[in-house]
Amino acid sequence: MLNNIKQIFEDTHPYDDPTDKVIKRLPKEIVDNYINKTKLRHAGVLFGLQDNGKNNPDLYLTKRSKQLKNHSGEISLPGGTFDQDHDKNIIDTALRESEEEIGLQSEHAEILGFIDPQISLGSGFIVTPLVARIDPSFTPKINTYEVEKLFKVPLEFFLDQDNLSHEYRVFDGNKWSVYSYKYEEHYIWGLTAQIIRKFCKNLIQ
């Protein structure tokens, strides 16, 4: 399956202006009342897939430490904020933050492509997800200040649409479409669920 994923995403790329890309698909009221009033910060995350020997790769997810300022205790993809002092681009951001959080060296990550940028509710981030194949030899080294737990979920779980839930929630007076998954004891929602949903949509369309 990973080779098929590589073919699907091989022509994708990060956008020079991800905000413009997002604006084109969001409802006008959210653009007017949130996007245009928020100084969005750029971030990159790693959509890391690893072969599990069953032609069904696993997706790496983290449970964020409760001491973090943003999205503490939530399920997320490894990644973080673009740092102009250290990063040439958003690829550098996703790889640097993944190394800091879970010990992933860049030589253990083969870049397969990119998922369209997504907006993080409430925290003002515009996030570009980088799709990567994680080498089977990768041995995690968790930064416990940032990550409480690292775990994997079979991709087939997310591809099953029966596992996807949808509702509307109001944030800062704006009505947002919110997706979620419940995997074992983990509640995966918001930005992370939206990125996963977007990835799966690209696979099954």
pLDDT for the residue 120: 83
pLDDT for the residue 53: 82
Q: Which residues contact 62 (CB under 8 A, 6 or more apart)?
A: 75, 76, 77, 78, 101, 102, 147, 148, 149, 150, 151
pLDDT classification of 70: cutoffs 50, 70, 90: low
List pLDDT tens digits, range 145-204. Answer: 999 999 999 999 999 999 999 998 887 777 888 999 999 999 999 999 999 999 999 988
Mean pLDDT of 89-94: 96
3-class DSSP state for residue 142?
Answer: coil
Which CATH superfamily does the domain covering 2-204 fall into?
Answer: Nucleoside Triphosphate Pyrophosphohydrolase (3.90.79.10)
pLDDT classification of 63: cutoffs 50, 70, 90: very high
List pLDDT tens digits, range 105-151. Answer: 999 999 999 999 998 877 788 999 999 999 999 999 999 999 999 99
Structure tokens at 119: 């907006």
Structure tokens at 185: 């004891």
Query: Residue 82 half-sphere exposure, CB side, CA atoms within 13 Å?
Result: 15
Provide the residue ranges of all domains of the chain, joining segments of one domain with +: 2-204
Single-letter residue type at 54: K
Question: Is residue 69 predicted with pLDDT exceeding 90?
Answer: no
Question: Is residue 72 predicted with pLDDT exceeding 80?
Answer: no
